[in-house]
Chains A and B, each alone.
Chain A
Amino acid sequence: MSAETHAGPDVQAGTSWVQVCLLRDLEVERGVAALVEGEQVALFRLTDGTVCAVQQRDPFSGANVMSRGIVGSRGGVPTVAGPMYKQVFDLRTGRCLDPVGFDPVGGSSPDLASRAVEVRDGVVHVATRSDLP
């Protein structure tokens, strides 16, 4: 696979990347968790081939479960629903689109931190933490 795709936050020049897995390890619209530099990340492969990465921790329950949410779309925006209490998040930015009446636990942000992803030669690369905004 030579197609090169990236998603998530704008990639800065000089971004460093961590190889995480092969693209073929990811099933379309069924997320997986990954350990990236000791940090838990949820990866999602969309129907168009792009891969998104957001934090695995669900801000509304504190549990590490985001990869197990249902992937869908809202008004054309790719989304994932929290598996615990069904908040809806924009997969490209991590922004919480609908808190469905809940508050995040422990004073955390309702939004998910997202990471840039690049697929090179069939290998999924996730931006290192030092590049996070």
Chain B
Amino acid sequence: MTGPQASPDPSVDAAASADPTPGPRHVVVVGGGMVAQRLVEALRARDGAGTWRVSVFAEEPRKPYDRVALTSYFSARDPEELTLGDPALWDDPLVTLHRDCAVTEIDREARTVTDRLGRVHAYDELVLATGSSAAMPPIPGNDLPGVFVYRTIDDVAALRGWVEDKRRAMETDGGFERPVRGAVIGGGLLGLEAAGALKALGAQATVIQFGTHMMDAQIDLGGGQALKRLINEMGIAVRCDTATKEMKVSRRTGHVGRLDFVDGGRLDVDVVVVATGVRPRDQLAREAGLEVGERGGAVVDLACRTQDEHVWAVGEVACIEGRCLGLVAPGYAMAEVVADRLLGGSATFPGADTATKLKLQGVDVASFGDAFARTEGAMELVYADPVAGVYKKLVLSDDARTLLGGVFVGDATPFASLRPMVGSELPGDPGAFLLPEGSSGGGAAALELPDGAAVCSCNNVTAGTIRGAVTEHGCTDLAGVKACTKAGTSCGSCLPLVKKITTTELERAGVEVSNALCEHFELSRAQLFDAVRVADLHTFSEIIARFGRVPEPVVSTDGAVLVRDAGRGCDICKPVVASVLASLGNGHILDGEQATLQDTNDHVMANMQKDGTYSVVPRIPGGEITPDGLLVIGQVAKDFGLYTKITGGQRIDMFGARIEQLPHIWRRLVEHGFESGHAYGKSLRTVKSCVGSTWCRFGVQDSVGMAVDLELRYRGLRSPHKIKLGVSGCARECAEARGKDVGVIATDNGWNVYVGGNGGFTPRHAQLLAEDLDDAALLRTIDRFLMYYIRTADRLQRTAPWIEDVEGGLDGVRAVIMEDSLGICADLDAAMAQHVDQYEDEWRAALEDPEKLRRFGSFVNAPATPDPDLVYMTERGQVRPATADERAAVLAEAEGIEPPAGPVVIAGTTLEVRR
């Protein structure tokens, strides 16, 4: 390879050979992967003058997607969720994406490419971004049905389909039932992800690794041993030092059926995933006569240019500094270099950041920098806790001060903040970074990253850029910084660090990061919750006297002091205090002063509708109701003239109840065994379920039984926002549990629990929190999740954004409630036990208390007189409130004017309406 600077400055060349024809010049990008996407994005972002038009030829029939997150496709199942960047990029008139349209030939002389349809396209500059393909080792039998690679969405979809077919075949075979047996050949990053994916599909997984330990390209033997323990704990078997001799066919099925190993061992399998690495797809480059590296890849200089000045290569197909790099971050860096060069810049490849983090549920593995201590005189500092499955290593320079690299297994918390420090001196004792958080002697010095330190290597964003987003571009929160800099928008592993830098910078700039609830409280809801709990306060008056904000005295013109205390609260803080008191078990919500804090619906324990009447929802746990129960609800609705509708939460809503009717309606419902459904509260609403194994041909667990148990356990639980749960009896997920705050999905071995799902304005799929729990572990996990949420979420913050706000995100939540990293689990358990113990039906209790009942009178001086202004119409056989025009017509009619056409006013048995 010639030195990159030996040839004349390429940018000058490019400018000199400017196309004489008018209009933009044409760059052809061969390949439609992540790096190609980045190149187009970078070019369009900087080429404001429109000097280039871009044609991208993608072999796959879809837009570029996030291959790094491929494993999430197993749980997401929606390719759209893997979409990269702003989809509007592909609508840009200067960008053409040819999908399902591989390039088959390059003619460097004529500067044209030919696509698979035989069309010829001229180019001014050509960029190869063909990536790599999964390597298939020459093991006999590697072409049998049931042998897969793990590279594209189609690979993953095919694998999933295969495993599901196999499982169905076993179910229908009848008699003896066994799980689908899977093997993964290759114990690297991708192999472990594939094994995790097999587990997620309900298959057994065994990882076959040729080397001494897993991820041997990234971590050392000690880390590998810790990793093996963690992987085993997940139920994944591992065989190291094992070479596969042959894949044997099953005579019964004709599919792959057995692996034979060189050491004489065997393994029966139904599916095999080969993940032994990747090979650069350099066929086009070879055929075009371009130089390729010893181990493949189009050889490029540090400007990413091949020996042909008009041909560039980026990403995994490029052989740069003598090697191909199978990671996305260096590929992105190359894309940026080429974009810069095309626009006349002189950027060069900054060197590869080979830091990696394993994206496998529940297993933290990360390595960065010189992980193997290959630097002359490098020292290794190791912390290992074999019991906890933790192995951490820092590689330092010979003076034990400068950070060179590191390996983290089992606890990668320090990864995000240490990785950008490579090459810098660590403050204080480096050992402090390895000790578990909160241990004595722990507490690493706060890192102040140099401006040049790369924080987000996916998008090549430095600490300085993030600080600039705050200081120069006026970003005031994490979301703003993300949008402005793109930091943390790809893999997300750097988000905690981005948040930390952003907050520090905001504080430094004097921007108040206010958590204040309202003018009456400086505290956030979470702070107020703790304050009330610790101070053991029970009334709003005590709470505002103790924690309320007393403003500067306001003096009127005649010198009288108008404001001398924190005041009497408002419609923001009073419902928050009401919710906090209710969550802490402070008696009936309509007891004493508490009755004055309740928001509109809690105020009368029903849901206010547009005309000031209410809807009533009795609890129907799990959506299971007897025919007699249905008759009761039907009769009550009929007797009180209520409009009925089935809710999304599998129960029945009755509309049009006037305030003074509520106790009468509830007396009937309570007599027949119904209780409050809390449809009016920021509290547990429903636990939706499918019919489950008791009736369903496919169900594997009793989802209705579990839903009823959960609903009865959490009924009445007040929270920062409404909470919904769902339970599905099998992976078909008919209860749509992943759209709920807590979704429970049955597996052959127990229950998987997902958290953070939401419908509403910002729909979210719940994410997997824990797998294969038995009933007791499931309850314990949900108990802690809900109680932790109740204690720490902001006002009206639903679970999905709350999880994002928890330090460490979902992993952080998992650490707190599954591993008790904060030591609060006993406390959370006790709080939930108290809730379960103290539950009483609010409506039954209200009916027994004449003081509370008195509040349901319509008028203080005429408690049984209905609101005279209510007017109803019939529509589809039921009542509804009259519209403004209809009301006017009704009033006119009352005065003897021509009756209106259309709907008529009804006067039911109980509805008092104006005639």
Query: B-contacting residues of A (Cβ < 8 Å)?
Result: 20-21, 25-30, 32-35, 40, 43, 46-47, 57-58, 61-65, 68-76, 78-79, 81, 83-84, 86, 88, 105-106
Contact = CB atoms under 8 A, between A and B. Distances in A.
A6 to B, nearest CB: 18
Interface string B576-598: 00000000000000000101111
A75 B862 contact: no
Nearest to B888: A106
Nearest to A46: B568
Contacts of A57: 869
A30 to B, nearest CB: 5
B642 to A, nearest CB: 18
A33 B857 CA distance: 9
Interface of B: 519-520, 551, 554, 562-563, 567-571, 573-575, 593, 595-600, 603-604, 608, 610-612, 659, 855, 857-862, 865, 867, 869, 884
A68 B600 CA distance: 7
A63 B604 CA distance: 16
A120 B604 CA distance: 30
Given A27-B595, A71-B596, A76 B567 contact: yes
Contact of A63 (B520, B567, B611, B865): B611
A85 to B, nearest CB: 10
A72 B861 contact: no
Contacts of A75: 519, 551, 554, 562-563, 567
Nearest to B592: A27
A118 to B, nearest CB: 16
B859 A35 contact: yes
Contacts of A58: 612
A33 B859 contact: yes
Nearest to A33: B859
Contact of A88 (B570, B599, B862): B570
B597 A70 contact: yes
Given A27-B595, A64-B867, A83-B600, A70 B574 contact: yes
19 contacts: A28-B596, A29-B568, A33-B858, A33-B859, A40-B869, A46-B568, A63-B610, A64-B612, A65-B608, A70-B575, A71-B568, A71-B596, A72-B571, A72-B573, A73-B569, A83-B608, A84-B600, A86-B571, A106-B884
B304 to A, nearest CB: 53
A43 B595 CA distance: 16
B210 to A, nearest CB: 65
Tell me whether chain B's interface is mostly helix, strand or loop, or mixed: loop
Nearest to B884: A106
Contacts of B597: 70
Contact of A61 (B563, B610, B857, B861): B610
A30 B596 contact: yes
Q: Please give me the 3 A-B residue pairs with the lowest Cβ-Cβ distance, nearest first.
A: A63-B612, A81-B571, A73-B567
A84 B573 CA distance: 17
A29 B570 contact: no
Contacts of B563: 75-76
Nearest to A38: B868
Given A61-B610, A70-B571, A70-B575, A21 B867 contact: no
A68 B604 contact: yes
A28 B859 CA distance: 17
A106 B569 CA distance: 31
Contacts of B861: 20-21, 34-35
Contact of A29 (B596, B600, B884): B596
B574 A72 contact: yes
A45 to B, nearest CB: 10
A29 to B, nearest CB: 4
A65 B567 contact: no
Nearest to A25: B860
A35 B612 CA distance: 16
B871 to A, nearest CB: 11
B860 A43 contact: yes
